[in-house]
Structure 1
Amino acid sequence: MFLLCTIAASLLCFLLLKWMKRRRMCMDLKRLDGKTVLITGGNSGIGKETAVALAMRGARVVITCRDPERAEKAVREIKMRSHSLNVLHMHLDLANLRSIRDFCHKFLQTEKRLDILINNAGMPGVLDWTDDSFSMCFGVNHLGHFLLTNLLLGHLKECAPSRVITLTCSLYKYQKLDFQDLNYNLLPFFTYCRSKLANIYFTQELARLMEGKGVTAYSVHPGYIQSNWTCHYSILFQMLMKVVMLMFFVPCEVGAQTVIHCAVVDDVNQHSGGYFSDCRQSALQPFAKDPGIAKKLWEASERLVGLA
């Protein structure tokens, strides 16, 4: 009897975990022949899985990475899995504004098109600073992608209809922005939450500014993913989180589905500025839909990165 109860309980836990990890898959088979896709941090995790999926659809895929060796290894894997040779990497350090400007200058000189920009790279909550003295989370997750997108907007408008997809996280709901201290860097978890909220406001204001210009924007919560973000922490924490991720988180291939959905599905065009999760538009907390705050953050970000 005890054995039967143990087996039943184990089966119930397995089914519960499987239900918790269920995710929708992007079923749209749209081709992207002749399109160019730029993916920041495309050398690992969701970025790499997205690169494989879009290269398989015929797109020219450019991934960015700080480490040339890791980038070259990723490009070889993406080419092999996608059966496409139209994949390359370019150096970019989102924690350095000069690196971003140099990258954009080179990209605009060498690439004739930009149809889909995927702001995928990100930093977890860490007590560290960028080369320009911004908190690492806010500097990379928001300001780096803010500057990158603005410097590439000309290409995006020329190739309209085009799309900007920025990865965020549902953890945004646990914090609000403090314009007296946007560079907040005391509690890593809250710093990360604020950067993800900034991604959402950025997407909304970008969609408003690009209305009627052929550029649409989407923020995406990919779910909780079995990625390598724990490499920034202690070995003990990495071991603990590996167990947690195996039990509750989804593989990167599954996590990439909503990003792919926003990159290829035509129906999302009518929801520019929207927040997507599990391959569909999702509701936001009321405070995350304030156009006044979105505009204020945009203007503050322009000043911080030197665009104003």
Structure 2
Amino acid sequence: MATNWDTRQIPSQVGRVAVVTGASSGLGLETAVALAGAGAKVVMACRNPAKAADALAQVKRRRPNADAELMALDLADLASVRRFASEFASRHSRLDLLINNAGVMAVPFQKTADGFEMQIGTNHFGHFALTGLLLEKLVATKDSRIVNLASLAHRWTRGMNLEDPNFERARYNKWDAYGKSKLANLLFTFELVRRLQASAANVVVAAAHPGYSSTNLQFVGPQQAKSSFGSALMKIGNSLFGQSAAMGALPTLYAATAPDVGTGDYYGPGGFQQIGGYPVKVGCRKAARDVQTAAQLWTVSEKLTSVKYL
């Protein structure tokens, strides 16, 4: 693995098609800029049309030769996920990279269009459905990859509660819910690895986390809760500990493009406590690799999303 790896070392992506969810700001936008700069055709999958248009303009301003397009995707609405997958299949003959980047963090309790708790609904169930609906295209594309965005927060929860994943009975704690959604991202990643290996599908599945990166993600929760104190606290944390979104996107970009990435690998910043720094291969908590929990999560996810994999 290269020391101090950055976007200058991304191999040519000419001829490759990449989908980046949540590409309208932060890590997703930086990922889209870097992949477009390396020659990929980038599909920016975004929920908010106005923000998406501004993000596309930024990509083309920063990378004048960028081949990028917008497609509407709301991961908190399975009907939107299905429309996106259908429209993508009609527009594109291949899919080389699926970057499951979008997410919400520590928001007040609310439900998705399908009745899921918002954080696990967006961060996990939405991406589970999207990946399943696009998997045929990925399997048919040589040397394709899936990268799932996790977080240090997967260590912050006692574990999954698959009998009550949407907090219909349990007391809701927004940070615990976020941790569970990020633990679900890793459980999903490693279970998908096992299932694709069993079917001999040639798709590399990896995960990445951005450490502590200064993005708009930290402010959505306080804004929804109308907490000026929470917003101020996040601003202080970002200024003291946060690295730039461009640095935070490097583990994702490494997992998506570096030639030495293996299926099941997990990347994050190599600095103190993985808070910041250049990408390195990192470990995760034992619970994230629990085979039984992963299988149970898969069963629950298929049932709740009505998406069956190949």
Please give the TM-score of this superposition, normalised by the length of structure 2: 0.88
CA drift at 1:210 = 1.4
Report the secondary structure of 1:89's partner residue. strand
Determine the C-alpha separation between the residues in 2 that align with 1:120 and 1:24: 22
Quick one: which of 257, 279, 283 aligns to 2:250? 257
Partner of 1:296: 296
Determine the C-alpha separation between the residues in 1 that align with 2:290 and 2:297: 11
Report the secondary structure of 1:42's partner residue. coil
Determine the C-alpha separation between the residues in 1 that align with 2:298 and 2:265: 17
Q: Does 1:148 align with 2:141?
A: no
Q: Is the 8 A contact 2:46 2:73 kept in 1?
A: yes
| 1:158 maps to amino acid | A
Q: Is the 8 A contact 1:28 1:264 kept in 2?
A: no
Quick one: which of 34, 45, 49 aligns to 1:53? 34
The structure with more radius of gyration: 1
Partner of 1:9: none
Runs of 4 or more off by more than 2 Å in structure 1?
A: 23-29
Partner of 2:241: 248
Q: Is the 8 A contact 1:171 1:196 kept in 2?
A: yes
Partner of 2:95: 114
Unaligned runs of 5+ in 1: 1-22
* Identity, % of aligned positions: 36
Which stretch has the larger CA shift, 278-287 or 83-92? 278-287
Determine the C-alpha separation between the residues in 2 that align with 1:152 and 1:256: 23
Quick one: which of 232, 238, 246 aligns to 1:239? 232
Q: Is the 8 A contact 1:39 1:64 kept in 2?
A: yes
Quick one: which of 191, 208, 212 aligns to 1:205? 191
Report the secondary structure of 1:210's partner residue. helix
| 1:221 maps to amino acid | H
Q: Is the 8 A contact 1:25 1:254 kept in 2?
A: no
Quick one: which of 46, 49, 53 aligns to 1:72? 53
Q: Is the 8 A contact 2:18 2:42 kept in 1?
A: yes
Report the secondary structure of 1:232's partner residue. helix
Partner of 1:14: none
Query: 1:176-208, CA deviations, whole angstroms, 9 ceiling, x for partnerless residues?
Result: 011211113700000000000000000001111
| 1:186 maps to amino acid | Y
Please give the TM-score of this superposition, normalised by the length of structure 1: 0.89
Determine the C-alpha separation between the residues in 2 that align with 1:117 and 1:190: 27
CA drift at 1:24 = 4.3
| 2:193 maps to amino acid | A
Unaligned runs of 5+ in 2: 270-278
Partner of 1:194: 180
Partner of 1:132: 114
Query: 1:25-81, CA deviations, whole angstroms, 9 ceiling, x for partnerless residues?
Result: 435331000000000000100000011111010000011111212111110110111
Q: Does 1:180 align with 2:169?
A: no
Q: Is the 8 A contact 2:105 2:220 kept in 1?
A: no
Determine the C-alpha separation between the residues in 1 that align with 2:29 and 2:162: 34
Determine the C-alpha separation between the residues in 2 that align with 1:84 and 1:236: 42
Aligned residues: 284
Determine the C-alpha separation between the residues in 1 that align with 2:128 and 2:287: 21
Which stretch has the larger CA shift, 102-111 or 237-246? 237-246
Determine the C-alpha separation between the residues in 1 that align with 2:189 and 2:85: 20
CA-based RMSD: 1.4
Q: Is the 8 A contact 2:37 2:66 kept in 1?
A: no
Determine the C-alpha separation between the residues in 1 that align with 2:229 and 2:155: 28
| 2:256 maps to amino acid | A
Determine the C-alpha separation between the residues in 1 that align with 2:240 and 2:36: 30
Partner of 1:17: none
Shift in CA distance, 296/166, structure 1 to aligned 2, threshold 3 Å = same
Query: 1:128-151, CA deviations, whole angstroms, 9 ceiling, x for partnerless residues?
Result: 110111000000000000000000
Report the secondary structure of 2:94's partner residue. coil
Select the structure that is richer in helix: 1
Report the secondary structure of 2:207's partner residue. strand
Q: Is the 8 A contact 2:207 2:255 kept in 1?
A: no
